[in-house]
């Protein structure tokens, strides 16, 4: 009879629950005999496993998930890791259950919620996981503002969770006194209609360097107005002084190969009254003062 559970457990890193076994006609007596003979191991209360599976983060997650019961939902940092949200690596295991559903097994952190609805849950590799928008909403209670903002912006860029979807979710679920709501509200207010997030680390670094130097934030991802026949954007633009800025992270040989195109774009910009400035990774990373001073002088000229 144990053969019937092997297939299911193979998708759960060698683990299965007592309830899953019962659904396949495996009773407690059969489980006890398998335990005594060493064919299976007891991993937690009501959770069993087949020998030979190596320890891993996913196996620990499944152990906690099965031990917590059928209402468990992977949430917070753990859900963020499964969604591959920026800044949230695999580490802590956090599950959410309905209020009053107590599971104190010590295998993970268990949180309780009264506002977790069925539409806030999605299946990922067999696990019930909070959706990307619900996960970002929940992370506001524990993540710092920069870490949270980075995850939100990158989720918007990749299409996992658009800013307008998170804004609508926030409007529906926020309530006075709920932890993290002021932080999330400020982040969303700064990224209202028309906001264009940085598309890369280098572009984000350029904006950070300019802001740290006391310069205003430029417009990002601006379509070059004279190239109307095709999409062609610049990383950043100061409209008041017609300063174009590019953050160049390409390897040296790639930059050399594309140097002619870069020069052509620069000449076109100059012919249309714009002033182009290019900064490479080393300058943005190790010499931000030079970047700030260059742009400050250009704006004053």
Looking at 173, 196, 219, the residue that finishes a domain is: 196
**What is the tens place of the pLDDT at every residue in 2-38?**
777 988 899 999 999 999 999 999 999 999 999 999 9
192 in the same domain as 208: no
Q: What's the rounded mean pLDDT across residues 154-171? A: 89
Degrees, nearest 5: CA angle 236-239-242:
85
Classify strands 47-49 and 15-17 as parallel, antiparallel or unpaired.
antiparallel
**164 in the same domain as 86:** yes
Q: What is the pTM of this model?
A: 0.70
Given a contact cutoff of 8 angstroms between Cβ atoms, the answer to whether 75 and 61 are in contact is: no
- Do 121 and 88 lie in one domain? The reply is yes
Is residue 175 within 8 A of residue 116, CB to CB? The reply is: no
DSSP for 238-277, written as a single string? ETTTTEEEEEE---HHHHHHTHHHHHHHHHHHHHTT-EEE
- Please tell me whether residues 62 and 29 are part of one structural domain: no
Q: Which residue has the higher pLDDT, 105 or 67?
A: 67
- Please state, for a pLDDT cut of 70, what percent of the chain lies above it: 93
199 DSSP 8-state letter: S
- Helices marked H in 159-258 — which ranges? 163-173, 181-189, 201-212, 252-257
Average pLDDT over residues 83-93: 91
Same domain for 126 and 99: yes
Poorest-confidence range of 85-94, 104-113, 183-192, 195-204? 195-204
If asked whether residues 73 and 18 sit together in one domain, one would say no
Using the predicted structure, report yes or no on whether residue 157 has a pLDDT greater than 90: no
Q: Read off the CATH number of the domain in which 211 is found.
A: 3.40.960.10
Torsion of CA 272, 274, 279, 284, to 10 degrees: -150
Whether residues 234 and 285 share a domain: the answer is yes
If you search the block for the tokens 């012919």, which residue do you land on?
Answer: 271
**Could you read off the pLDDT of 277-287 as tens digits, one per residue?**
988 877 887 88
107-146 pLDDT, tens per residue?
999 999 888 999 999 999 999 999 999 999 999 999 998 8
Task: Give 199's pLDDT tier (boundaries 50, 70, 90).
Answer: low
Are both 8 and 84 inside the same structural domain?
no
What pLDDT was estimated at residue 114?
86
| Alpha-helical runs (H) found in the chain | 3-10, 18-23, 28-37, 57-68, 76-82, 132-139, 145-158, 163-173, 181-189, 201-212, 252-257, 259-271, 281-286, 288-300
Task: Tell me the pLDDT tens digit for each residue of 65-74.
Answer: 999 999 999 9
**C-alpha–C-alpha distance, residues 202 and 198, integer Å:** 8
Q: What is the mean pLDDT of residues 170-185?
A: 90
pLDDT of residue 257: 53
Give the pairing of strands 15-17 and 127-130. unpaired
Q: Looking at residue 249, what is its pLDDT?
A: 63
> Residues 164, 228: one domain?
no
Total domains, the chain: 3
On whether both 78 and 177 belong to a single domain, the answer is yes
Domain end call among 166, 196, 226: 196
Domain limit, last residue, from 127, 161, 196: 196
Residues 220, 261 share a domain: yes
What share of the chain in percent tops pLDDT 90? Answer: 59
| Interval 224-277: pLDDT, tens | 888 777 777 888 999 999 999 988 765 443 444 566 777 888 888 899 999 999
Q: Give yes or no: residues 135 and 189 share one domain.
A: yes
Q: End-to-end CA distance of the chain, in Å?
A: 82
Confidence of residue 209 (pLDDT cuts 50, 70, 90): very high
pLDDT for position 254:
47
The parent domain of residue 260 ranges over 201-300
């Amino acid at each position: 009879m144990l053969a019937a559970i092997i297939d299911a457990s193979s998708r759960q890193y060698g683990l299965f629950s007592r309830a899953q076994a019962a659904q396949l006609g495996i009773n407690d007596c059969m489980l006890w005999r398998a335990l005594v003979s060493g064919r299976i191991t007891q991993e937690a209360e009501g959770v069993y496993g087949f020998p030979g599976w190596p320890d891993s983060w996913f196996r620990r997650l499944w152990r906690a998930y099965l031990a917590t019961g059928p209402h468990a939902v992977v949430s917070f940092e753990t859900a963020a890791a499964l969604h591959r949200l920026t800044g949230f690596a695999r580490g802590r295991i956090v599950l959410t259950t309905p209020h009053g559903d107590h599971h104190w097994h010590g295998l993970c952190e268990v949180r309780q919620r009264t506002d977790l609805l069925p539409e806030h849950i999605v299946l990922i590799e067999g696990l019930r996981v909070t959706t990307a928008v619900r996960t970002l909403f929940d992370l506001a209670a524990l993540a710092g503002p920069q870490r949270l903002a980075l995850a939100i912006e990158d989720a918007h860029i990749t299409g996992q969770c658009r800013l307008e979807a998170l804004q609508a979710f926030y409007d529906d679920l926020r309530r006075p006194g709920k932890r993290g709501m002021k932080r999330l509200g400020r982040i969303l207010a700064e990224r209202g209609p028309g906001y264009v997030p940085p598309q890369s680390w280098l572009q984000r670094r350029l904006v950070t360097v300019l802001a740290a130097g006391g310069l205003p934030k430029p417009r990002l991802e601006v379509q070059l107005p004279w190239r109307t026949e095709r999409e062609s954007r610049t990383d950043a633009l100061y409209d008041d002084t017609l300063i174009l800025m590019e953050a160049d992270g390409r390897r040296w040989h790639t930059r050399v190969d594309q140097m002619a195109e870069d020069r052509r774009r620069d000449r076109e910009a100059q012919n249309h009254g714009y002033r182009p400035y290019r900064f490479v990774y080393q300058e943005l990373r190790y010499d931000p003062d030079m970047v700030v001073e260059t742009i400050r002088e250009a704006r004053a000229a």
